[in-house]
Structure 1
Amino acid sequence: MKVIKHVASALLIGGLAASGMAQAAFPEKPVTIVVPYPAGGATDVIARLIAQQLPAKWNQPVVVRNQPGAGTTVAAEALTREKGDGYTLYMTTAAHTISASLYKKLNYDPIKDFKPITLVSTIPLVLVTTPSLKPNTLPELIAAVKATKEGMTIASTGNGTPQHLTGELFKAKQNLDLVHIPYRGDAPMITDLIGGQVQMAFVTLSAAVSNIQAGKLKPIALAHNKRVDAIADVPTFAEAGMPGFEAATWFGLFAPASIPDELRQKIYQDVSEIVGTPEMTKKLVSMGGDVNNSSPEEFQAFINKEAANWAEAVKISGASVD
């Protein structure tokens, strides 16, 4: 009996040692960070900022792969088929927690099929219009939409995104006739906003700020609890006459659910060190963001709360996607 116990103990110790060696050796080949949006948007920018710094820690290339489509669900479903070995990671947004409530059919579970690594940053949304649109304030814009028989268009970065759902809530709260035009990410949407092909949109502040400052987009109101320095003259929704209307997107790193906790913790620690540097913090703040840099446990608690909040928002707005 003692021999069996000694053998079992040796196997356990050997297994733990092997596991520890495996974690210490990671990565032994290039790592891919999947982004469910086209290149150029806020999610892509943040993923690349991290990817540029990780090779110094990992001695391996870190590649960002853009895989847009269907409000992030194409990339998310593909990730569930990947091994949880750390070599394929997923940088996504609040759209991830919205999808469970918004889509009638999903071939994956946004909560159970993923393990959160870290919440990097949270950035508020800003309502902007094409420059040629006459209204300059929120009351003027609401009045103009209501006075237009054919209604107006409101763009988003795709079905199921925070931008889409926030627009639906705005429509519902103000009883507006707005036609939703979905795009595959920030870049094509902003191009058409500037050109006047669509009339308004809720845009992640980081994606809109340079065009706002250049006069290429007209800011109406910020869906945040306070003004931000980058566009200090733009009022919040509360200041513009819609108290309590706040919306933001967040940027977080995930892995497939099968990733070992030890490996997840290692990836978190390495990414957290990068996010916590003064240089990275400065870049995120300049994008209009709050730096979260949360642990896997903190991020999981945040996701659980987000999923419940967005489910209620979907119900109120009546939005759904087949």
Structure 2
Amino acid sequence: MRRRTLLSLGGGLALAAAAKTRAWAQAFPTRNVTLVVPYPAGGATDVIARLIADKLRPKWNQSVVIENRPGAGTVPAAQAVARAEPDGYTLFETTSAHTISASLYKKLSYDPVRDFTAITLTAIIPLVLVTAKSVPASTLAEFTAWAKTQKDVLVVGSTGIGTAQHLTSELFKNRTGVPSQHVPYRGDTPMITDLLAGRAHFAFATLSAVLQHIQSGDLRGIALAHPRRVTAAPNIPTFAEAGMADFEFATWFGTFAPANLPAALRTAIYRDISAIVAEPAMTQRLVEMGADVSNLAPAEFDAFIKGETARWAEAVRISGARID
């Protein structure tokens, strides 16, 4: 009898706690929410974060403040979020760099998986092999054949050491034998400037960053590292279509919170963000950026993160990239 009484009491307390958490989630938020973005204003991550924040404000009847904390491969921003209270008032809009960090950095003050709560994957924007206009090739086969005949080593640009763009270029070099010298830039803008001027010969770029230049003919989109073509660039074939199977890499955009966010609150935030992403106007805006809209639920995002962490770890190993 005593044991049954204790079990009943324990069960009652658990139910009461769960009810309290659900009520708290339903009342959320009661003050401003901060959405941390680990990149400067104006980039794709910032744009997506602001599109979401603009729609969350009337839905939540509270301000959603974008806090841009760029630098050091997203590490300082991620560290700040990991240390924040898991109460939903600090959120994190980040990219594939988050899963790369686990393997790239010898020492991190946080764990990119254990110290965060994955809420939703909004969209995936594939990387595209893009070349300077001066490169005399329009297909993947033509490009690799031409590159191997050059006496001077070709310059391949990236947005920084250890980024998805850099690692993908190293994997491409490993697969094809195309000789190249990696030049890291401080973001998309200086890299694209050198591509347009012909000082860099090729790069793996986020499609949204180079789309207008491909459309204008100032840069040439050779192949898309994605399982299928995208609406924004229907004439660019996938790597598989171009003759290289199993070469799929992208920048993705997802929302996180600190670890131990209550499950009911995690679900509530996901539902609100996913409803915004599912709106036709929002979906269209993302598609125009070259994105595949994902809108993954938390459990699906957890599985995605696990796969991405393992995949990028292998890419880091092959590339030899490492940051102390």
> TM-score higher than 0.5 here?
yes
1:88 to 1:216, Cα distance in 2 relative to 1, 3 A: farther
User: CA RMSD of the aligned region, Å?
Assistant: 2.7
SS of match in other structure, 2:284: helix
Partner AA of 1:208 in structure 2? V
Unmatched 5+ residue regions in structure 1?
Answer: none
CA distance in 2, matches of 1:222, 1:9: 54
Pair 184,267 (structure 1): closer, same or farther in 2 beyond 3 Å: farther
Determine the structure 2 residue equivalent to 1:151. Answer: 153
For the pair 1:211 / 2:221, whether they are aligned, the reply is no
Match of 1:190 in 2: 192
SS in 2 for 1:181: strand
Task: Classify 1:131/1:74 alpha carbon distance in 2 versus 1 (closer, same or farther; 3 Å).
Answer: farther
Paired positions, count: 322
Identity of aligned residues (%): 57
Q: What residue number does 2:99 align with?
A: 97
After the TM superposition, which residues 277-288 of structure 1 pair with which residues of structure 2 at under 5 Å, given as runs?
277-288=279-290
Q: Does 1:25 align with 2:27?
A: yes
1:230 is paired with a residue of what secondary structure?
A: coil
Q: Deviations over 1:194-249 (max 9, x none)?
A: 34443321111122212211223221211123333322222222333323222122
Where do 1:39-188 residues align within 5 Å? 39-188=41-190
Q: Distance in 2 between matches of 1:6 and 1:236?
A: 59
Partner of 1:257: 259
3-state DSSP of counterpart to 1:33: strand
Specify whether residues 244 and 9 from structure 1 end up closer, same or farther in structure 2 by C-alpha distance, changes over 3 A only: closer
Query: Is the CA contact (8 Å cut-off) linking 1:88 and 1:255 kept in structure 2?
Result: yes
Q: Distance in 2 between matches of 1:225 and 1:24?
A: 39
Contact 2:21 2:262 in 1 (8 A): no
Determine helix, strand or coil for the equivalent of 1:292: strand
Q: CA deviation at 1:254?
A: 0.4
Residue of structure 2 aligned with 1:34, choices 33, 36, 52: 36
SS in structure 1 at match of 2:305: helix
CA, structure 1 residues 86+190, in 2 after alignment: closer, same or farther (shift >3 Å)? farther
For the structure 1 residues 86 and 188, does the alpha-carbon distance in structure 2 shift closer, same or farther, using more than 3 Å as the test? farther
Q: Distance in 2 between matches of 1:173 and 1:276?
A: 38
* 1:268 to 1:222, Cα distance in 2 relative to 1, 3 A: same
Counterpart residue type for residue 320 of structure 1? R
**1:34-91: per-residue Cα shift (whole Å, max 9, x none)?**
1222222222221111111000111112122222222222221222122222122111
Look up the equivalent residue of 1:22 and give its one-letter code. Answer: W
- Against the structure 1 CA distance between its residues 11 and 227, is the aligned structure 2 distance closer, same or farther, given a 3 Å change threshold? closer
Residue 5 of structure 1: CA displacement? 10
Q: What TM-score results when the alignment is normalised by the length of structure 1?
A: 0.89
Structure 1 counterpart of 2:259, one-letter code: A
Moved more, 79-88 or 139-148: 139-148
TM value normalised by structure 2 = 0.88
Deviations 1:174-212 (A, max 9, x none): 223322223343344333433444332111112221221
Contact 1:40–1:187 (Cα < 8 Å) also in 2: no
